[in-house]
C-alpha cells in the first residue's frame, strides 16, 4: 500500500514495531514526510543508542507518545541532555532497554512535561532521589525489576504528582513507613491514588496495615501474592483487605460499594472480637485499653468500634457444633410488593446474619442491599410479622424456623 506525501503528512499515530528500524534515515526526511506524528511505536527494532532516538525525535515537534521497548540502547551520561527535543513528550515507554536509574535521571532533564514513564524489566536499582526531574510524572511503572526493595522506594516517595505506581513482580514482601504511627498518615507518596502489587511475595497482613497510612490511596491491585492465594477463602481475604485500608474504593479492579465496605468492616470486627477482648478490649470506653501488640496487628479496630460500636458478648459467642442438617432452614421467600415475582424456596443456615441474607437477595434480585427490608412470618404465629431489623444478628436470633416465610420489600 502506497501513501502520498499529503497522506503521510496527516499521520498522527504510527507503529513501526519489529520493522528493523536502525536510525533516522536521510536528514530531515521524517520532518518532511510526517511532521504531525504525535504517537510512534518503535519497539523491538535495531536502535542502539539514545543519540539515534534524539535524531528521530528532533524532527517530530508534536511528539507526545514514544515507545522504545526492546531496543538495546546505550544512554549518554557525559553529554548534556538536549532541551527542546522532547518538549511535548507525555508518555515514554522504555521497557527492556537496559536503561539504569542514573541514566533515567540524566535523560529526564530533557522530559519537562512527561506524565507516564514505563521502565519494566531493566534490572533497575533506584540509587538516588530524583532532584528537579520527574516532578511532572503521574504514572511510574517499575514492574519486573527484581532488585528493587522497600528502602529504594523511599527514594521516589516524594515525587509530588505521582498518582499511579506499578510494582508488579519486583519480589517485595514488606513495607513500613517509619514516619507514621498507628492510625496516622505518612508524608510519603502524598498524591498516590493507585498502587499495583501483583505477583509479589506479600504474605503478612502488616503490609496491608501499612498501606492504610497512604493519605491518597483509593485503588489497589494485589493479586497472586501468598496472602491472597492458596487455600484461603478469597472473599474473606478481600473483606479483610477492605477493612484494613479505610479509604480504598477499588480492589483488584472491582469497585467497593458502601454496602460491601460495611459488611467487610462488621465481619472483620466480629472475627477479631475475642482477640480484642483478651488483649484488654472492653465495651465500656473507659475500660477499653487493648494492648500495643493488638493495636499494631489491627490498627483500625478501635476506629471500627467507634464507627459501629464495640462488639457485644452475644456476637462473639462461638456457636456450638451440631449436625449440618439441623443448621439448614428451608424458607419460602415472598415479595409482597412485587406481584410478578414468584415465591421461591431457599435453604439457609440459621447462623446466617441478616446482612448476609440481604447480600444474597441483592445479587438474586439486582436490588441494592440498602433498599431491602426483611421480615418473616411463621405458621405458628398467624397474622403476625416480625421485622429483621438488626443486620448483625443471625436468623436464629429472631427464632426463624424451618417452613417459615421471609418477606422481602424494596
DSSP designation for 1: -
Non-local (6+) Cβ contacts of 382 within 8 A are: none
Cell of 257: 460499594
Q: Please check the confidence at residue 21 and state whether its pLDDT lies above 80.
A: yes
> DSSP letters of 153-216?
HGGGTT-TT--EEE-TTS-------TT--TT---SSSTT--EEE--SS----HHHHHHHTT-TT
Specify which residues 91 forms β-bridges with: 65, 116
Nearest to 338 by CA among 378, 370, 367: 367
5-260 and 328-409, same CATH topology: no
Give residue 92's pLDDT: 98
Q: How far apart are CA 34 and CA 18, in angstroms?
A: 19
Fold that domain 5-260 belongs to in CATH: 3.80.10
Q: Confidence class of residue 1 from pLDDT cuts 50, 70 and 90?
A: very low
Count Cβ neighbours within 10 Å for each residue of 143-166 and write b for 16 or more, e otherwise.
bbbeebbeebbbebbebeebbbbb
pLDDT at 234 over 50: yes
| Residue 231 pLDDT grade (very low, low, confident, very high; cuts 50, 70, 90) | low
CATH of span 328-409:
3.10.20.90
Contact 81, 107 (CB under 8 A): yes
The Cα–Cα gap between 393 and 266 comes to 11
Q: Specify whether the CB–CB gap between 122 and 98 falls below 8 A.
A: yes
Average pLDDT (311-316) is: 78
338-365 confidence digits (pLDDT tens): 888 888 898 888 888 899 999 889 888 8
User: What pLDDT shows up at residue 128?
Assistant: 97
- What percentage of the chain reaches a pLDDT higher than 70? 95
**Every domain of the chain and the residues it spans:** 5-260, 261-315, 328-409
Query: For the segment 142-161, what is each residue's pLDDT rounded down to a tens digit?
Result: 999 999 999 999 999 999 99
**With 70 as the cut, is the pLDDT of residue 2 above it?**
no
Q: 293: part of which helix (H) or strand (E)?
A: helix 292-297
pTM above 0.85, yes or no: no
Q: Phi and psi dihedrals of 118, rounded to 5?
A: -110, 120
Work out the average pLDDT over 220-224: 97
Compute the average pLDDT of residues 221-243. Answer: 88
Cα 258 from Cα 266, distance rounded (Å): 12
> Residue 318: which pLDDT band, with cuts at 50, 70 and 90?
low
Residue found under cell 517530530: 60
Amino acid at each position: 500500500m502506497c501513501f502520498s506525501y499529503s497522506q503521510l503528512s496527516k499521520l498522527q499515530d504510527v507503529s513501526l514495531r519489529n520493522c528493523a528500524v536502525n536510525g533516522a534515515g536521510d536528514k530531515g526526511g521524517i520532518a518532511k514526510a510526517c511532521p504531525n506524528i504525535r504517537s510512534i511505536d518503535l519497539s523491538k527494532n535495531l536502535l542502539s543508542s539514545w543519540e539515534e532516538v534524539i535524531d528521530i525525535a528532533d524532527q517530530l515537534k508534536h511528539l507526545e507518545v514514544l515507545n522504545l521497548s526492546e531496543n538495546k540502547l546505550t544512554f549518554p551520561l557525559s553529554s548534556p541532555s538536549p532541551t527542546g527535543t522532547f518538549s511535548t513528550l507525555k508518555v515514554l515507554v522504555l521497557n527492556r532497554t537496559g536503561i539504569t536509574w542514573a541514566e533515567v535521571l540524566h535523560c529526564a532533564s530533557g522530559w519537562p512535561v512527561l506524565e507516564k514513564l514505563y521502565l519494566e524489566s531493566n534490572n533497575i536499582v533506584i540509587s538516588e532521589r530524583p532532584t528537579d526531574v520527574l516532578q511532572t510524572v503521574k504514572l511510574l511503572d517499575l514492574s519486573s525489576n527484581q532488585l528493587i526493595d522497600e528502602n529504594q522506594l523511599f527514594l521516589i516517595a516524594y515525587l509530588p504528582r505521582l498518582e499511579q505506581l506499578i510494582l508488579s513482580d519486583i519480589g517485595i514482601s514488606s513495607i513500613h513507613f517509619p514516619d507514621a504511627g498507628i492510625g496516622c498518615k505518612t508524608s510519603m507518596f502524598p498524591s498516590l491514588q493507585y498502587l499495583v502489587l501483583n505477583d509479589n511475595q506479600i504474605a503478612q497482613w502488616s503490609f496491608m496495615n501499612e498501606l492504610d497510612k497512604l493519605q491518597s490511596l483509593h485503588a489497589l491491585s494485589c493479586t497472586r501474592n501468598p496472602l491472597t492465594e492458596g487455600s484461603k477463602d478469597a472473599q474473606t481475604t478481600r473483606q479483610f483487605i477492605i477493612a484494613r485500608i479505610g479509604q480504598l474504593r477499588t480492589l483488584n479492579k472491582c469497585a467497593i460499594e458502601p454496602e460491601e465496605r460495611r459488611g467487610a468492616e462488621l465481619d472483620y470486627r466480629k472475627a477479631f472480637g475475642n482477640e480484642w477482648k483478651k488483649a484488654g478490649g472492653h465495651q465500656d470506653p473507659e475500660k477499653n485499653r487493648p494492648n500495643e501488640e493488638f493495636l499494631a496487628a489491627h490498627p483500625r479496630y478501635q476506629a471500627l468500634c467507634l464507627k459501629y460500636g464495640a462488639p457485644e458478648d452475644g456476637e462473639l459467642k462461638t456457636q456450638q457444633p451440631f449436625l449440618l442438617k439441623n443448621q439448614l432452614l428451608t424458607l419460602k421467600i415472598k415479595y409482597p410488593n412485587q406481584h410478578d415475582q414468584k415465591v421461591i424456596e431457599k435453604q439457609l443456615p440459621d447462623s446466617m446474619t441478616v446482612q448476609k441474607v440481604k447480600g444474597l437477595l441483592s445479587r438474586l434480585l439486582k436490588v441494592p442491599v440498602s433498599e431491602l427490608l426483611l421480615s418473616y412470618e411463621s405458621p405458628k404465629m398467624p397474622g403476625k410479622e416480625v421485622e429483621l431489623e438488626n443486620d448483625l444478628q443471625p436468623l436464629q436470633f429472631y427464632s426463624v424456623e424451618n417452613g417459615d416465610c421471609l418477606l422481602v420489600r424494596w
